[in-house]
Structure 1
Amino acid sequence: MPSSDIPLPDKPQKVFDRDAEWQELVAFACDNRPEARLGVVNGRLRQGKTYLLETLTGALGGFYFGAQQATQAESLSHLADELARYTNASTPPHWHGWEDATDDLLALGDQRPTPIVLDEFPDLVRQSPSLPSILHSAYRRHDGGHPGQARLLLSGSSLPLMHRLFSTASPLHELSDLHLTLRPFDYRQAARFWGIDDPALALLVHAVVGGTPAYRHDYVQDDTPAGREDFDAWVCRTVLNPGKPQYREAYHLLQEEIDHKDRALCHSALSAVATGCSTQGRVADCLGAPLTDTARCLGLLREHGLLHSEADAFRPSLIRLRVAEPLLAFEHAVVRPHRSALAQQNAVAVWKQARPDFDSMVHQSHFAQICRDWALHFADPDTFGVRPRSAAHGSVADPTHPGSTDLAAEVVVRGHGDAGHGSLLSVGLARWDEVMDVEHLERLQDLLGILANRGEDTSRTRPACYSGAGFSPALRAVEAQGQVVLVDLDRLYGRR
């Protein structure tokens, strides 16, 4: 994007992190090309899109409008009122339709680059399906003789609709030159955001609320656990407290994302995945539903960004599922089975019953995903020889015991390459609550032997052990000899 003569404003201190996103937004908003530009900002609910865009328009003297679910006439009336306040007009403009409104919005950039935000744009399109075409026509008119410097930003939380609106088949696709997605904070950012220095506590909190910014301030009123010994009490006074918005957030999240006729099946599907049914077939068996209905439901959850799917690291035809939002996994694996008890007992008693389910979830899935994220995004390139391309769960059948449980590795790291998925950089085990010993390394060596017999090049593959409880002196001695990579909580969280 061309540089601007306008000094780019520094990110306000009140905005936590989001440095890269802020730089992209201000560069777009201050771009001094003599033509109207279009940008797109999307992301799931509660990620801070509105907060960031309001801050942007405030810093640059731009215009912000937050759409609501309303008729076209009501939306245009509210927009006209907001525009009159922004321009200090004595009366709101009278528009006959979106054509007039669009021309007036783009005219805000006649004198200088001006950010103009239409937040929750999908709510406007639902009532005015022709709006994308109207915007396209308006931009074409401006290109033909009315240059201007309007910097229109269209934002939305409905991922499926945003994807359709700006797909290659959309009239808006060719106009947009900024596509920005606000994602949840990663686990390290989340620890800093919550002000937690203890890696073990940070991981436990992340297993409950993930990296969604709204869940600290708006949903628990800045209540953070004072220490690891306060974690259980914190769960009881926040996510299990009917007086806190966090109590029903997982329900409302699905309520806002998914059409009502699909919600019951989606809740059940999320429960199945959160409790260990990691393939489509296993989910269908758990739900007792036809495979076609299950596939449609899982596809809907993926489309809304609530479910992720990825190929097994050793069997690419096997697609594994996981819940994308930790709060949804926590709700469906831990809290949902005890909802009726919460209506009759105090939270402390219910959490005592549910805590083993939570520990199991952290052990079986959440800790392993944190380890995969570390390997892919935070490990020094020297750790695995080169920068990884992927980190996934991998499993193979044990040829010495046909019909037995598959041999699995929770953190399989691959690089770029022509063979299979890419070069096999590392195979690792993740154990949240086990002190890992030489026997864990021996399991990895057995697995590497099986992979080598299957034709996998393991000559440069580094075995790795990830533990939330630490490592035995014997395994540390093997690490000193360069025969294994050991990753503890301090290393996961960048403390060493």
Structure 2
Amino acid sequence: MDKPAEMFDRDFEWAELTRFAALPGPRATLGVVSGRRRQGKTFLLDALTRADNGFMFTATETTETDALRQFGEALARYRDQPTPFRFAHWDEAVTELMRIADRGGPTTAVIDEFPFLAKASPALPSIIQRALDPTAQHANTPVRLLLCGSALSFMGSLLAGNAPLRGRAALELVVPTLDFRLAAEFWEISDPRTALLTNAIVGGTPAYRREFTQGDTPSGPDDFDDWVVRAVLNPARPLFREPRYLLAEEPELHDTALYHSVLAAIAAGNAARGGIADYLGRKSTDLAHPLSVLQDVGMITHEADAFRRNRSAYRIAEPLVTFYHAVMRPAWGDLERPGRATAVWRRAQTTFRSKVVGPHFEQVCREWARWHAAPETHGGQVTRVASGTVNDPVAKTGHEVDVATHGENGDGRETLLAIGEAKWNDVMGMGHLERLQRIRALLTARGTATDATRLQCYSGGGFTDELRRRADDDPSIELIDLDRLYHGA
């Protein structure tokens, strides 16, 4: 099956799906597809069923009786039945579904938004498990059944622990967001600075490029501010209310006001649980549950400190949510009134740079160091990249390291390959290099770093001539600008 011409990237996902759809053998086989909302999962599966002449049913949030009626109508249309199937329960529906490949050869069957069905009918995973059992094969044909959903915590639990479908899946595919390089290509933005600013707002979610902005993209640096006003801060555009809907659509998030407050605290720069608790005026122990739930649904990430195992940082996984809480939510009343967006955006520039672009640029630098930089750039094969804090007992302060790159040296042991500082709007100079040298000396004294640990300066604003000359003379110093982030290694 050839990948549709209109499908951007997704080569790996398409190859895995088509391989699964064509698996030989007479028995029904299960696959699970998950991923955050708006990543194109439905588009992928719809293209697969069209290419394979398969069956696809997209569930809605409804009652069990109504879901069975909708499913019976869809299955009858696919089977060219003159009247809809009338299923009394899901046992009958799944049994009939497992017969759709009776015309010969593997046939794909997709149930999209599966969590909606399972919420109304909790026994459904067990019913599917029973239908997949070898003892039930007399009623089965080679159906390639794909269950798809965006509720990450639920989809993850389908195949975990003692779940009925544990060990039954031949495919477990997660459809990720596009990384910053692919996002720039997808948005057709060639200027690296404009690409990163855009990515800091909309991230790598494909739907925001087409459905939510109607193909409206910033044409260059001079158009970026106007694009934000007309496409993001415009109350008539779908992207305007999308951050609110993202939380409302998550079935695990019941008290949305609390979760919005937690996200607002993180967007304000509070990465530790204690800081989030202080921001909200609550006890740190009170936040264990909401933070865990937000992490389970993929709204935030929890990252360990590069140098202190008892310390970690929470970060918002969806850039649009960060932008909403930092820029839009404080001015929501003004933004809802047409004509106020330009003034709001003008006032929000400082906040946008410090709370949105700055942290996002640091994250992009970590992604580049982990996935795009060549081994020669770090002096070894990278195993993990994180941010961290290094205590300076003499100065009685802590030094933040934006990019700490660990990897394997020649003897296979993990070592600290490089430490880096990321500055979005600053022209980096010798002061930044001297700070990194001080941090390396502290880490070397602790046995964490060596003289071979490289020093890396990441800048969106450029470098002084003196720093460039120093880097030319010292191979342990790396300068990474926007062009290298997007096009180099």
Q: Scaled by the length of structure 1, what TM-score is found?
A: 0.94
2:443 aligns with 451
1:305 aligns with 2:305: no
CA contact 2:99–2:143 (8 Å) conserved in 1: yes
After TM superposition, give the deviation of residue 422 of structure 1 in Å. Answer: 3.4
After TM superposition, give the deviation of residue 34 of structure 1 in Å. Answer: 2.1
What is the correspondence of 1:332-343 to structure 2 with a 5 Å cutoff?
332-343=325-336
Please point out which of 367, 373, 377 is paired with 2:367: 373
Instruction: Structure 2: state its 5+ residue gaps.
Output: none
2:30 aligns with 38
2:353 aligns with 359
Q: Which amino acid aligns with 1:475?
A: L
Please point out which of 275, 283, 298 is paired with 2:268: 275
1:238 aligns with 231
CA contact 1:262–1:297 (8 Å) conserved in 2: no
Q: Which amino acid aligns with 2:198?
A: V
1:383 aligns with 377
CA contact 2:440–2:449 (8 Å) conserved in 1: no
1:407 aligns with 399
**Total equivalences in the alignment:** 485
Q: Which amino acid aligns with 2:168?
A: L
Residue-by-residue CA offset, 1:257-282 (whole Å, 9 max, x unaligned) = 15564211111111111121010011
2:244 aligns with 251
CA contact 1:142–1:148 (8 Å) conserved in 2: no
Please point out which of 149, 154, 160 is paired with 1:167: 160
Residue-by-residue CA offset, 1:184-235 (whole Å, 9 max, x unaligned) = 1111111011000001000000001101111111111111111111111111
Q: Which amino acid aligns with 2:28?
A: A
Please point out which of 99, 118, 122 is paired with 2:115: 122
Alpha-carbon separation, structure 1, partners of 2:297 and 2:175: 14
After TM superposition, give the deviation of residue 143 of structure 1 in Å. Answer: 5.5
Please point out which of 312, 316, 326 is paired with 1:323: 316
CA contact 1:385–1:425 (8 Å) conserved in 2: yes
Residue-by-residue CA offset, 1:386-407 (whole Å, 9 max, x unaligned) = 22111111111222222x3x11
Residue-by-residue CA offset, 1:417-450 (whole Å, 9 max, x unaligned) = 8x9x931010000011111112211111100111
1:57 aligns with 49
Residue-by-residue CA offset, 1:131-179 (whole Å, 9 max, x unaligned) = 1111111111565445621000000111111112221311112110100
Please point out which of 334, 344, 347 is paired with 1:350: 344
Alpha-carbon separation, structure 2, partners of 1:325 and 1:414: 26
Alpha-carbon separation, structure 2, partners of 1:479 and 1:177: 50
Alpha-carbon separation, structure 2, partners of 1:459 and 1:122: 53
1:434 aligns with 2:412: no
1:131 aligns with 2:130: no
Q: Which amino acid aligns with 1:353?
A: R
1:483 aligns with 476
After TM superposition, give the deviation of residue 290 of structure 1 in Å. Answer: 2.0
Instruction: Structure 1: state its 5+ residue gaps.
Output: 1-8
Residue-by-residue CA offset, 1:357-396 (whole Å, 9 max, x unaligned) = 1111245311000000000010111111222111111111
Alpha-carbon separation, structure 1, partners of 2:53 and 2:216: 34
**Pair 153,363 (structure 1): closer, same or farther in 2 beyond 3 Å:** closer
Q: Secondary structure at the match of 1:309?
A: strand
Alpha-carbon separation, structure 2, partners of 1:252 and 1:13: 31
Alpha-carbon separation, structure 2, partners of 1:261 and 1:71: 19
What is the correspondence of 1:415-434 to structure 2 with a 5 Å cutoff?
415-416=407-408, 422-434=414-426
1:79 aligns with 2:47: no
**Pair 144,342 (structure 1): closer, same or farther in 2 beyond 3 Å:** closer
1:20 aligns with 12
2:459 aligns with 467
1:395 aligns with 2:395: no
1:198 aligns with 191
Q: Which amino acid aligns with 1:386?
A: G
Alpha-carbon separation, structure 1, partners of 2:96 and 2:105: 15
Alpha-carbon separation, structure 2, partners of 1:228 and 1:24: 38
Alpha-carbon separation, structure 1, partners of 2:425 and 2:179: 22
Alpha-carbon separation, structure 1, partners of 2:308 and 2:253: 36
Q: Scaled by the length of structure 2, what TM-score is found?
A: 0.96
Percent identity over the alignment is 45
1:97 aligns with 89
Q: Which amino acid aligns with 2:318?
A: E
Q: Which amino acid aligns with 1:58?
A: R
CA contact 1:363–1:433 (8 Å) conserved in 2: no
2:39 aligns with 47
Please point out which of 134, 143, 148 is paired with 1:150: 143
1:5 aligns with none
CA contact 1:274–1:329 (8 Å) conserved in 2: yes
Alpha-carbon separation, structure 1, partners of 2:190 and 2:251: 36
1:492 aligns with 2:485: yes
Alpha-carbon separation, structure 1, partners of 2:161 and 2:254: 30
CA contact 1:36–1:142 (8 Å) conserved in 2: no
Alpha-carbon separation, structure 1, partners of 2:140 and 2:330: 59
CA contact 1:312–1:318 (8 Å) conserved in 2: yes
After TM superposition, give the deviation of residue 92 of structure 1 in Å. Answer: 1.6
Q: Which amino acid aligns with 1:42?
A: S
Alpha-carbon separation, structure 2, partners of 1:296 and 1:187: 31
**Pair 363,159 (structure 1): closer, same or farther in 2 beyond 3 Å:** closer
